[in-house]
Structure 1
Amino acid sequence: MTEQGFSFVEALLAVVILFFLSASLVPLTFHMKQQLEGQKRQTHAAEVAFNGALLQQRYGEWSGVQEIEGISYFWNFDLGSVCVKYDADLEEYELCV
């Protein structure tokens, strides 16, 4: 830096450093967001399994469907466990409790 301010090279170097920092943070935040969405769907599936167990215990229902945030969670009670199936991101997931 001179008394007149930053030179062109110094300003260009600062821009390049900021570009690399932002280029590394964008994929990281995207990956974190995807992980949080998956964990949220698993939490919803666990909630549906709990509700299915309550419905089976109270009313004798053996299967059902619950929709949360546009995703249908299908639960089925079989041999003392509750299994929940749902489709998300073009894949089918299953959680058995």
Structure 2
Amino acid sequence: MSQEGLTLVETLLAVVILFFLSLTIIPLTFNMKQQIAIQKVQTHAAEAAFIGAMKYKRYGQTSGMQQIDDVQFQWHYDGRQVCVHYDLNNKNEELCV
């Protein structure tokens, strides 16, 4: 006796499996996107510190501001290191190199 199609139990099992897969994958991808965005801003802060170091070396400028992707990076050189201040998720962050 041959059957055509899926039974109700097989269909429900497939739906339950897809439901649990989506419950785990959606939050995982959301967290990954947030981490990538944070790393992107931190990379831009390092770039602003590099630009600040170059401006200090070439022009003697000890502070300045750099805007990258609608984020304001304020840098200053204190004689030992270049520090960059910026807002990340409404929190003030600092990167010193």
Deviation at 1:92, TM superposition (A): 1.0
Give me the whole-angstrom Cα distance separating, in 2, the residues matched to 1:60 and 1:4. 80
Identity %: 54
Matching of residue 73 in structure 1 with residue 61 in structure 2:
no
Give unmatched runs, 5+ long, in structure 1: none
**Letter in structure 1 aligned against 2:41:** R
Give me the whole-angstrom Cα distance separating, in 2, the residues matched to 1:5 and 1:58. 75
**Hey, what does 1:23 align to over in structure 2?**
23
**Hey, what does 2:33 align to over in structure 1?**
33
Q: Secondary structure at the match of 1:34?
A: helix
- Large movers: runs of 4+ above 3 Å: none
Give unmatched runs, 5+ long, in structure 2: none
Deviation at 1:23, TM superposition (A): 1.0
Give me the whole-angstrom Cα distance separating, in 2, the residues matched to 1:80 and 1:67. 24
Calculate the TM-score normalised by the size of structure 1: 0.94
Calculate the TM-score normalised by the size of structure 2: 0.94
Give me the whole-angstrom Cα distance separating, in 2, the residues matched to 1:22 and 1:36. 21
**Hey, what does 2:11 align to over in structure 1?**
11
**Coordinate RMSD, CA, aligned:** 1.0
The number of aligned residues is 96
Deviation at 1:9, TM superposition (A): 1.4
**Hey, what does 2:85 align to over in structure 1?**
85
Give me the whole-angstrom Cα distance separating, in 1, the residues matched to 2:37 and 2:14. 35
Q: Secondary structure at the match of 2:4?
A: coil
Give me the whole-angstrom Cα distance separating, in 2, the residues matched to 1:19 and 1:90. 34
Give me the whole-angstrom Cα distance separating, in 2, the residues matched to 1:6 and 1:90. 52
